[in-house]
């Protein structure tokens, strides 16, 4: 199998951890590097979490610190900071991973992205699991190089749903100007796949799934289950919802296997616009049938088979337990 060249831009994050575990478990990915952006927690916590995940998975790649704030925040010399009731103070619930400081690079995330794309034009896919600040900064620095990215898989946005506000998903809400620039400046040249809340919120890791992770999936599964306890409590207290939605994992699983979504659930060559101000800040406005004068700058995923998605995750990451999972859990 010829491996696909992958950069993962992330803000770890409980769901980012699941996503990175899946990406590192997939033999078809050559993960060239992890670029980090402030998002679920501040940049240093996100970097340390990324270093911890790389160490946990014994992954042969480096971690590249990136933007400390949104585009507007950087312009005003402000550091991005948000109290994370969703992911806990450190970003991984009550879990603290041991970082490998030797995997931290002195190269800025934006420079790493541009250097890697220049060396591999038309071959690099970027999976984004946080705010799109690093990607927008790379476009501002060298738009022509960024047009040579093969594909972008972006967990963010929502057509009919929001989670930070009634209309805005967190990643795009955190830096709507960045999302706007990414779609507007390279969306007609690069295939951008938006995997938003319409898809992710149709999935669920059930309490049975989390129990199975804890009891039958070794140290890694137990760690993921423990990490999810904070998430699980939040979902129940806020939404009266049992189990957890692992948003970023959905993006990675679809990047691995887009057929997890039916063809009818993928709207290709649509027009996507971002709202950056006011009560609708962070909203994605999608025209599924754009007029001739509207740019076709996105593919938008709108659904996924939840059972097939969960099976694919367990088969990929815990193959030794997969037959028991399908027999007793599904």
pLDDT of residue 1: 73
Which residues contact residue 232 at a Cβ distance below 8 angstroms, ignoring those fewer than 6 apart? 207, 210, 242, 243, 244
Please tell me what DSSP assigns to residue 3: P
**181, 139 contact by CB (below 8 A):** yes
d(CA 93, CA 84): 10
Assigned token pair, 211: 């129990």
d(CA 234, CA 232): 5
Nearest to 224, CA basis, from 18, 66, 44 = 18
pLDDT of residue 220: 98
The reply to whether 230 belongs to the active site is no
User: Residue ranges per domain, the chain?
Assistant: 4-328
Assigned token pair, 19: 């996503």
**200, 252 contact by CB (below 8 A):** no
d(CA 9, CA 66): 9
Which residues contact residue 104 at a Cβ distance below 8 angstroms, ignoring those fewer than 6 apart? 47, 51, 62, 63, 65
Catalytic residue from among 11, 15, 111, 198: 11
Q: From the CB of residue 307, how many other CB atoms can be counted at a distance below 10 Å? A: 11
Nearest to 82, CA basis, from 41, 49, 46 = 41
Outline where the chain has alpha helix (H): 14-25, 43-56, 71-75, 109-119, 133-141, 143-146, 170-174, 176-186, 197-200, 207-216, 218-239, 247-256, 306-317, 322-328
The reply to whether 247 belongs to the active site is yes
Please tell me what DSSP assigns to residue 220: H
Task: Give the bridge partners for 125, in sequence order.
Answer: 6, 151
pLDDT of residue 245: 96
pLDDT of residue 83: 53
Cα of first residue to Cα of last residue in the chain, in angstroms, is 30
pTM for this model (two decimals): 0.97
**pLDDT tens by residue, the chain, 330 residues:** 799 999 999 999 899 999 999 999 999 999 999 999 999 889 999 999 999 999 999 999 999 999 999 999 998 866 665 655 666 667 798 899 999 999 999 999 999 999 999 999 999 999 999 999 999 999 999 999 999 999 999 999 999 999 999 999 999 999 999 999 999 999 999 999 999 999 999 999 999 999 999 999 999 999 999 999 988 988 899 889 899 999 999 999 999 999 999 999 999 999 999 999 999 999 999 999 999 999 999 999 999 999 999 999 999 999 999 999 999 998
Which residue shows structure tokens 């199998």?
1
Task: Give the bridge partners for 127, in sequence order.
Answer: 8, 153
**135, 178 contact by CB (below 8 A):** yes
* CATH match of 4-328 with 3.30.70.360: no
Which residue shows structure tokens 């040249």?
189
pLDDT of residue 238: 85
pLDDT of residue 87: 66
Catalytic residue from among 9, 230, 247, 248: 247
């Amino acid at each position: 199998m010829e491996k696909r060249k992958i950069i993962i831009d992330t803000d770890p994050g409980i769901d980012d951890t699941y996503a990175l575990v899946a990406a590192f478990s997939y033999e078809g990915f050559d993960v060239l590097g992890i670029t980090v952006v402030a998002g679920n927690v501040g940049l240093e916590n996100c970097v340390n979490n990324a270093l911890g995940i790389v160490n946990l998975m014994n992954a042969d790649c480096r971690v590249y610190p990136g933007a400390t704030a949104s585009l507007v925040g950087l312009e005003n010399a402000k550091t991005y900071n948000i109290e994370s009731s969703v992911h806990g103070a450190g970003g991984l619930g009550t879990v603290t991973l041991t970082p490998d400081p030797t995997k931290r690079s002195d190269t800025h995330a934006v420079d790493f992205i541009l250097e890697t794309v220049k060396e591999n034009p038309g071959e690099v896919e970027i999976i984004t699991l946080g705010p799109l600040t690093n990607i927008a900064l790379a476009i501002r620095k060298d738009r022509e190089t960024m047009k040579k990215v093969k594909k972008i898989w972006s967990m963010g946005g929502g057509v009919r749903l929001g989670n930070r506000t009634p209309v805005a998903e967190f990643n795009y809400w955190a830096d709507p100007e960045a999302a706007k620039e990414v779609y507007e400046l390279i969306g007609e040249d690069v295939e951008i796949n938006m995997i938003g809340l319409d898809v992710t919120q149709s999935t669920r890791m059930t309490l049975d799934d989390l129990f199975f992770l804890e009891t039958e999936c070794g140290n890694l599964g137990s760690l993921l289950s423990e990490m999810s306890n904070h998430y699980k409590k939040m979902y129940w207290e806020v939404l009266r919802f049992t189990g957890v939605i692992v948003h970023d994992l959905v993006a990675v699983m679809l990047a691995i296997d887009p057929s997890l979504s039916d063809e009818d659930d993928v709207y290709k060559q649509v027009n996507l616009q971002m709202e950056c101000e006011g009560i609708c800040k962070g909203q994605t406005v999608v025209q599924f049938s754009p007029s001739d004068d509207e740019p076709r700058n996105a593919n938008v995923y709108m659904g996924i088979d939840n059972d097939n998605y969960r099976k694919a995750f367990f088969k990929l990451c815990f193959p030794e337990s997969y037959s028991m999972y399908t027999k007793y859990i599904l």
